[in-house]
Amino acid sequence: MNRYIQEANQQFISAYNRYPIILDHGEGMYLYDIDGKRYLDFGSGIGVCGLGYHDPNHTRMLQGQIEKLLHTSNLFYNVPAIEAAKQFNQAANMEQVFFTNSGAEAIEGAIKIAKKYHFLKYKNKNGEIIAMKKSFHGRSMGALSITGQEAYQEPFGPMLPHIKFAEFNDLESVKQLITENTCAIFLETVQGEGGIYPATDFFIKGVRQLCDEHKILMISDEIQCGMGRCGQMFAYQIYNIVPDIVVSAKGLGCGIPVGAIGTRGLATGILNAGDHGTTYGSNPLATAAVISVFNLYNQYRILSNVNAMTAYLDKELSELVLQKTVIKEVRGLGLMKGIELFAPATSYIKALQELGIIVIPSGTHVIRLLPPLIVQKEHIDMLVQALRKIL
Residue range 260-305, pLDDT digits in tens:
999 999 999 999 999 999 999 999 999 999 999 999 999 999 999 9
Structure confidence at residue 138 (pLDDT): 97
- Taking the C-alpha atoms of residue 23 and residue 18, their distance in angstroms, rounded to an integer, is 12
Give the pLDDT of residue 296: 98
Provide the 10 A C-beta neighbour count for residue 344.
Answer: 13
Residue 174 to residue 368: CA distance in whole angstroms: 28
How many beta carbons lie within 10 A of that of residue 362, not counting itself? 25
Q: What distance in Å separates the CA atoms of residue 203 and residue 205, rounded to the nearest whole number?
A: 6
Asked if 242 and 236 count as a contact pair (C-beta separation under 8 A), the reply is yes
Q: Which whole-number Å values give the CA distances from 365 to 168, 195, 317, in the listed order? A: 19, 8, 17
CB-neighbour burial class of residue 355 (10 A; exposed 0-12, middle 13-18, buried 19+): middle
Sign of the CA dihedral with 384 first, then 255, 193, and 118 last: negative
pLDDT for the residue numbered 57: 98
Write down the pLDDT at residue 193.
Answer: 93
| Residues counted in the chain | 391
Distance CA 21, CA 256 (A): 22
Q: Per residue, what are the HEC states of the chain? A: CHHHHHHHHHHCCCCCCCCCCCEEEEEECEEEECCCCEEEECCHHHHCCCCCECCHHHHHHHHHHHHHCCCCCCCCCCHHHHHHHHHHHHHHCCCEEEEECCHHHHHHHHHHHHHHHHHHHHCCCCCEEEEEECCCCCCCHHHHHCCECHHHHHHHCCCCCCEEEECCCCHHHHHCCCCCCEEEEEEECEECCCCCEECCHHHHHHHHHHHHHHCCEEEEECCCCCCCCCCCCCHHHHHCCCCCEEEECHHHCCCCCCEEEEECHHHCCCCCCCCCCCCCCCCHHHHHHHHHHHHHHHHCCHHHHHHHHHHHHHHHHHHHHHHCCCEEEEEEECCEEEEEECCCCHHHHHHHHHCCEECEEECCCEEEECCCCCCCHHHHHHHHHHHHHHC
Q: What pLDDT is recorded for position 391? A: 96
- The pTM score is 0.97
Domains of the chain: 2-55+301-390 (3.90.1150.10), 69-299 (3.40.640.10)
pLDDT at residue 131, as a whole number: 98
Q: Mean pLDDT for the chain?
A: 97
What is the model's pLDDT at position 154? 93
Residue 188 pLDDT: 98
If we measure between CA atoms, which residue out of 59, 182, 196, 204 comes closest to residue 130? 182
Q: What is the pLDDT of residue 120?
A: 96
pLDDT tens, residue order, the chain (391 aa): 999 999 999 999 999 999 999 999 999 999 999 999 999 999 999 999 999 999 999 999 999 999 999 999 999 999 999 999 999 999 999 999 999 999 999 999 999 999 999 999 999 899 999 999 999 999 999 999 999 999 999 999 999 999 999 999 999 999 999 999 999 999 999 999 999 999 999 999 999 999 999 999 999 999 999 999 999 999 999 999 999 999 999 999 999 999 999 999 999 999 999 999 999 999 999 999 999 999 999 999 999 999 999 999 999 999 999 999 999 999 999 999 999 999 999 999 999 999 999 999 999 999 999 999 999 999 999 999 999 999 9
Sequence-ordered list of residues with C-beta below 8 angstroms from that of 338, at least 6 positions apart, any chain = 195, 196, 197, 330, 331, 332, 362, 366, 367, 368, 369
pLDDT of residue 379: 98
Rounded to 5 degrees, what angle do the CA atoms 230, 231, 234 make? Answer: 65
pLDDT tens-digit readout, 107-156 = 999 999 999 999 999 998 999 999 999 999 999 999 999 999 999 999 99
Nearest to 236 by CA among 251, 250, 221: 221
Q: How many CB atoms lie within 10 A of CB 16?
A: 8
List pLDDT tens digits, range 354-368. 999 999 999 999 999
**Cα separation, 314 vs 340, whole angstroms:** 14
